[in-house]
Chains A and B, each alone.
Chain A
Amino acid sequence: MSPPPKPRSLDDEDPDRLYTVTGGRSRTDETSIDLVTLIVTESDATPGMQSEYVKIIEMCGRPMAVAEISADLRLPVSVVKILLCDLLDTGQVTARHPTSAPAKAQLPDPKTLKQVLVGLRKL
Chain B
Amino acid sequence: MDSANSDARPARTPLRSTADTGLKIVIVGGFGVGKTTMVRSISEIRPLSTEETMTRAGVGIDDAGGVADKSTTTVAFDFGRITLNERMVLYLFGAPGQERFWFLWDRLFSGTLGAVVLVDTRRLADSWYAIDRLEYHKMPFIVARNNFEGAPVHPLDHVRDALSLSDDVPLIDCDARRRDSCKAVLIALVNHLYALSSAAALESTR
Interface string of A48-76 (1 = CB under 8 A from B): 00000000000001111101101110001
- Please tell me if the beta carbons of B24 and A113 are within 8 angstroms of each other in the complex: no
Tell me the complex Cα distance, A77–B109, Å. 12
- Please tell me if the beta carbons of A10 and B197 are within 8 angstroms of each other in the complex: no
Q: Which residue of chain A has its CB nearest to the CB of B76? A: A8
Any A CB within 8 A of the CB of B3: no
Any A CB within 8 A of the CB of B16: yes
Tell me the complex Cα distance, A35–B52, Å. 11
Min CB distance B38 to A, Å, is 14
- Please tell me if the beta carbons of B53 and A101 are within 8 angstroms of each other in the complex: no
Within residues 54 to 99 of chain B, which ones have a CB less than 8 A from any CB in chain A?
A: 55, 70, 72, 74, 76, 79, 81-85, 88-91, 93
- Please tell me if the beta carbons of A98 and B111 are within 8 angstroms of each other in the complex: yes
Interface size on B, residues (CB 8 A): 58
Any B CB within 8 A of the CB of A3: no
Tell me the complex Cα distance, A36–B194, Å. 21
Contacts A35-B91, A38-B15, A110-B194 given: A118-B111 contact, CB under 8 Å? Answer: no
- Please tell me if the beta carbons of B91 and A108 are within 8 angstroms of each other in the complex: no
- Please tell me if the beta carbons of B198 and A38 are within 8 angstroms of each other in the complex: no
Within residues 97 to 123 of chain A, which ones have a CB less than 8 A from any CB in chain B?
A: 98-105, 107-110, 112-121, 123
User: Which residues on the A side are within 8 Å of B84 (C-beta)?
Assistant: 115-116, 118-120
Contacts A98-B22, A102-B111 given: A117-B198 contact, CB under 8 Å? Answer: no
User: Which residues on the A side are within 8 Å of B113 (C-beta)?
Assistant: 101-102, 108, 113, 116
User: Which residues on the B side are within 8 Å of A120 (C-beta)?
Assistant: 82, 84, 90, 183, 186-187, 190
Any B CB within 8 A of the CB of A78: yes
Q: Which residue of chain B has its CB nearest to the CB of A72? A: B48
User: Which residues on the B side are within 8 Å of A25 (C-beta)?
Assistant: none
Q: Which residue of chain A has its CB nearest to the CB of B12? A: A68
Tell me the complex Cα distance, A98–B22, Å. 5
Tell me the complex Cα distance, A2–B15, Å. 33
Tell me the complex Cα distance, A11–B53, Å. 9
Tell me the complex Cα distance, A34–B194, Å. 23
User: Which residues on the A side are within 8 Å of B110 (C-beta)?
Assistant: 104
**Of the residues A98, A100, A105, A110, contact of B201 by C-beta under 8 Å:** A110
> Chain A residues in contact with chain B, CB under 8 A?
8, 10-11, 15, 18, 26, 34-38, 61-65, 67-68, 70-72, 76-79, 96, 98-105, 107-110, 112-121, 123
